[in-house]
Structure 1
């Protein structure tokens, strides 16, 4: 008796991302994703259920990847300002794949507003960390908004900017919040 074939969810999600990057979010049908992944549509539905569930899995994957990278950057400094600097650092590292992923995410959200709540909750987590109203807290929020704004403008193609200028922008954004002391307060 042959062993049942298992489906690698991460590989399927990667194939779905590649499909969106190459052909746009509107091309992401269950048939197209199954074909891209080399599996049957039934196998895809067994693994994910529906297109909505597949989109949810993609969003969860993107959020988790970003949060895991922030965790890596903040091993030495878990303060709010350390996390903000990690967030900004990740926003500064945009490449073609990230840009295509963001465009796909935005188009997906436009087609499926129910997923917007998940993204809103993720941003609320980042921007609502109960930082208070201190100068540092206001600088952290401004720093996150600045990084996010620059990231989106570049990733969706609204601006073209040379790498040296891009790096300089993010160097300036990172300077908005001073390094934290060992006790968790900022150096002024």
Structure 2
């Protein structure tokens, strides 16, 4: 009788993310993930249950990694503005593979209302603590929205831009944050 082989959840999640990135969310099936990960369909199901639970695990891992990068950039007990600045810096440093990964996750979440709600709550929390009734708060919000728009336009391939353009636009976004924080540029 064969010995039970433990399933490496991260390897399975890597395989699932690769499918979403390269073939789209419609190609994400338990069977496709099992084949890509080199395990049985039952191995995927025993680790994640359903396709929706697999997507939830993909989102959770991505979110945890992104939040950890923000925390490293922001330092201990950052102000809301420092956290926003860290968020924008982490987004700026996102490479093509990470951008593709994020775009794939966003596409997956849009197709699942229960996951979309989590995403909406996460986005709503990104500006917590910033007073939108002030000009500074509004500039910070504008910097956040410009950051997200630029990232999505590039990640989804809606707008081609050179690395130089990417850097220049992020310099402008940082300038909005500098204005919001009363810094000299």
TM-score normalised to structure 2 length: 0.89
Report the 3-state secondary structure (helix = DSSP H, G, I; strand = E; otherwise coil) of the residue aligned with 1:160: coil
Contact (CA 8 Å) 1:102, 1:156: kept in 2 or not? no
Aligned residues: 183
Contact (CA 8 Å) 2:31, 2:41: kept in 1 or not? yes
For structure 1, the residue ranges without an aligned partner over 5 or more in a row are none
Superposed CA deviations along residues 88-130 of structure 1, whole A, max 9, x for unmatched, are 1122224331232233223313432221001001101103x03
Partner of 1:69: 69
Partner of 2:59: 59
Larger relative contact order (Cα-Cα within 8 Å, sequence gap ≥ 6): 1
Report the 3-state secondary structure (helix = DSSP H, G, I; strand = E; otherwise coil) of the residue aligned with 2:114: helix
What is the rounded CA distance, in whole Å, between the counterparts of 2:66 and 2:53 in structure 1? 20
Report the 3-state secondary structure (helix = DSSP H, G, I; strand = E; otherwise coil) of the residue aligned with 1:83: helix
Any runs of at least 4 consecutive aligned residues in structure 1 with deviations exceeding 6 A, and if so which? none
Report the 3-state secondary structure (helix = DSSP H, G, I; strand = E; otherwise coil) of the residue aligned with 2:176: coil
Contact (CA 8 Å) 1:178, 1:187: kept in 2 or not? yes
TM-score normalised to structure 1 length: 0.88
Contact (CA 8 Å) 2:103, 2:152: kept in 1 or not? no
Superposed CA deviations along residues 135-161 of structure 1, whole A, max 9, x for unmatched, are 332222111111001101111111111
Give 1:110-149 correspondences, 5 Å limit. 110-127=110-127, 129-132=128-131, 133-149=133-149
Q: 1:163 to 1:76 in 2, by over 3 A?
A: farther
For structure 2, the residue ranges without an aligned partner over 5 or more in a row are none
Contact (CA 8 Å) 1:12, 1:37: kept in 2 or not? yes
Give 1:21-170 correspondences, 5 Å limit. 21-75=21-75, 78-127=78-127, 129-132=128-131, 133-170=133-170
Contact (CA 8 Å) 1:70, 1:83: kept in 2 or not? yes
Contact (CA 8 Å) 2:25, 2:104: kept in 1 or not? yes
What is the rounded CA distance, in whole Å, between the counterparts of 2:5 and 2:175 in structure 1? 52
CA RMSD of aligned residues (A): 2.2
Report the 3-state secondary structure (helix = DSSP H, G, I; strand = E; otherwise coil) of the residue aligned with 1:42: helix
What is the rounded CA distance, in whole Å, between the counterparts of 1:56 and 1:130 in structure 2? 27
What is the rounded CA distance, in whole Å, between the counterparts of 2:85 and 2:53 in structure 1? 33
Report the 3-state secondary structure (helix = DSSP H, G, I; strand = E; otherwise coil) of the residue aligned with 2:126: helix
